[in-house]
Chains A and B, each alone.
Chain A
Amino acid sequence: MTAVKSDERLQRVSIVTKALRRPELGALIGALVIFTIFALVDTTGQFAQLQGAAGWTHFAAPIGIVSIFVALLMIAGEFDLSSGVMVGSAGLLMGNLITEAGMGVFPALLVTLVFAGLVGLANGFLVIRTGLPSFIVTLATFFVLKGVNLAVTKLITGTVRVDGIDTGDGFETARAWFATKVEFGGASFQISVLWWIGFTIFATWLLTRTTFGNWIFASGGDANAARNAGVPVARTKMTLFVLTSMAAALVGCMTLLELRGMQAGQGVGQEFFYIIAAAVGGTLLTGGAGSAVGASIGAAIMGFAAIGIPYALWDQDWVATFLGVILFLAVLVNTWLSKQAKGARK
């Protein structure tokens, strides 16, 4: 078979097309441009240094960890609006298990992750069973949990906060795993950055190198065709709802360990950060295309803004406006790029 050999002839032609076909290309270019702008307007001389990196990654890592899984779920064609409030729910649950039920930190973490998994399962089950859009189902979960967070916390602690978790068994060990600082080149990075990088690599592998990843793309690309080909679409989506919920819970637990306590309103509103990060990173809102690396780049851009704006001595209140503009421009550029990659036909 000489035919399979004839690949070399093609590789040369398609390098540009190949690059254009990557969903995260637009985000990468955007990230470089935004990074350069903030480095130029920086007044502290630290933004482009490792100290600056420690700053923006501290902000970006918790967003990145969740947005990676939000992106996978979006590629499969579904949303999870309850992912933000889950950060709060998980932190509060773990905190109360430690302070009120006297559990050790690690058992409390485990119970919290199982709880989050069950909430994710409920989300997935309701979406599949009722056939309602996940936007509505998880919006409902969002509000249910938001109310529970506030009401139950008040009921148990009498305040809107959980405190004193550093008395729990294994607190220092858990902090070393999830909320310590790592010295690197004279700057101290949050350990969450390592988790972020780890999850990015894991999710990329999952998406591009496993059968499950193939099913994720197919479920979001055309659920009917996928079912005809024998792909377990319902199971794939359910699994992703569970993973997204658990990723949010992990971030909630990390935040709890870092702050040694948690407010009842924690996490609310974060769900949009996750969706913005995924969309900026080239994930299609209608499903079927996207990448984990893209979502991480999206989260990094948010980190640039959160640190770069105060470093430039601009009013921090503009961060949200900046993110809004970036979201619009990024999706515009991504759409244009994917059209270029696909050529004239559709």
Chain B
Amino acid sequence: MNAAKSADPILEMKGVGKAFGNVVALSGIDIAVYPGQVTCVLGDNGAGKSTLIKILSGVHKASEGEFLISGQKTEFNSPRDAMAKGIATVFQDLATVPLMSVWRNFFLGNEPKKWWKPLGILDTKLAKDTAKAELLNMGIDLRDTNQAIGTLSGGERQAVAIARAVYFGANVLILDEPTSALGVRQSGIVLKYILAARERGVAVIFITHNPHHAFLVGDHFYLLNRGRMTASFVREKVQLDELIQAMAGGAELDTLTHEISIIRQD
């Protein structure tokens, strides 16, 4: 833990902002992401989480500020640029093709080939064995990688997408609300795989509006509110209550609690 902390951040944002016309979606964002740690970005709806993900994954360009990868100033022109730098994004529902088998999904777009490569002949045995072994490494024990991925639960599907990104050499893994559509048990499964990816030295950026989930796995916490960074915490030095308070905008929640208690008394 301490060794990891002393390491340099793999990805850094300094004073990053983004405006769409005269609407300022983000401004003055400072984030440092370290390998082998989980960085949580918390925010309510409309806080600017989506814009932040899109800047990180290369979909949008920041309008101001600096973006550094391993200390080097970088600019992404497309998601492909980001992927080439080892930044993989797992989107909530757009990660897998439900009717295709698990192993086909695992290697989709990066299929292993045999014999003369330009012919594009799939090495199905290698693909199946690798998919099974890699998933097992992440602690996902599937009976059969031939089954359609649509037959897996939502949590397992997210897990396969995470395992795939890790296998294909992601240094930075961006997870867009991986638990928001899931039940309690399924969320637990995904959180487990987030830690598994962390154990493998991946820098995980976990974007969520759920402070309970973030608190369970996070090393660093950044809070977004109305496009601004309102607070940042380090594990050990923060309590769950503080996180929830800070996220809901502290004072705002107090007022709300007070108002609700008045209604309840009636």
Contacts and interface: CB of A to CB of B under 8 A. Distances in A.
A231 B109 contact: yes
Given A222-B98, A224-B94, A228-B94, A211 B133 contact: no
Contacts of B129: 4
Given A213-B122, A231-B108, A343 B97 contact: no
B189 interface: no
Nearest to B108: A229
Contacts of A231: 108-109
Contacts of B120: 210-212
B113 interface: yes
Contacts of A342: 148, 150-151
Interface in A285-334: 288-289
Contact of A228 (B95, B132, B151): B95
A288 to B, nearest CB: 4
Nearest to B148: A342
Given A214-B108, A217-B104, A218-B108, A288 B133 contact: no
Contacts of A14: 143-144, 146
Interface residues of B, number: 34
Nearest to A3: B136
B179 interface: no
A217 B99 contact: yes
Given A211-B111, A222-B97, A225-B94, A3 B122 contact: no
A112 to B, nearest CB: 27
A13 B144 CA distance: 10
Which residue, B108, B124, B143, B151, has most C-beta atoms of chain A within 10 A?
A: B108
A209 B133 contact: no
A10 B147 CA distance: 12
A345 interface: yes
Nearest to B79: A228
B110 interface: yes
Nearest to A287: B99
Given A214-B108, A217-B100, A218-B100, A345 B151 contact: yes
B111 A214 contact: yes
A34 interface: no
A13 B110 CA distance: 30
Contact of A343 (B94, B109, B132, B151): B151
Contact of A288 (B96, B99, B151): B99
Interface residues of A, number: 32
B96 A225 contact: yes
A129 interface: no
B150 A211 contact: no
Nearest to B141: A3
Contacts of B234: none
Contact of B143 (A10, A217, A218, A222): A10
Contact of B132 (A4, A213, A221): A4
A209 B143 contact: no
Contact of B124 (A13, A209, A226, A229): A209
A214 B99 contact: no
A211 B120 CA distance: 5
Given A3-B133, A4-B129, A228-B94, A221 B100 contact: yes
Interface string B133-162: 100100001011010101101000000000
A18 to B, nearest CB: 7
B199 to A, nearest CB: 18
A230 interface: yes
Contacts of A343: 151
Contacts of B153: 345
Interface string A1-23: 10110000010011000100100
Contact of B95 (A211, A225, A230): A225
Contacts of A18: 146
A210 B150 contact: no
A14 B243 CA distance: 48
Contacts of A21: 146, 148
Interface string B62-101: 0000000000000000001001000000010011111110
A336 to B, nearest CB: 16
Nearest to B120: A211
A214 B132 contact: no
Contacts of A345: 150-151, 153
A210 B118 CA distance: 10
Contacts of B150: 342, 345-346
Contacts of B143: 10, 13-14
A21 B102 CA distance: 14
Given A224-B94, A229-B109, A346-B150, A10 B99 contact: no
B98 to A, nearest CB: 7
B119 interface: yes
B40 to A, nearest CB: 23
Interface of A: 1, 3-4, 10, 13-14, 18, 21, 209-214, 217-218, 221-222, 224-226, 228-231, 284, 288-289, 342-343, 345-346
Given A10-B144, A229-B110, A346-B98, 13 more contacts: A14-B143, A21-B146, A210-B120, A212-B120, A218-B97, A222-B97, A225-B95, A228-B94, A228-B95, A230-B83, A284-B99, A288-B97, A343-B151
20 contacts: A3-B136, A4-B129, A18-B146, A21-B148, A210-B120, A214-B100, A214-B107, A214-B108, A217-B97, A218-B108, A221-B99, A222-B97, A222-B98, A225-B97, A226-B97, A230-B80, A230-B110, A284-B99, A346-B98, A346-B150
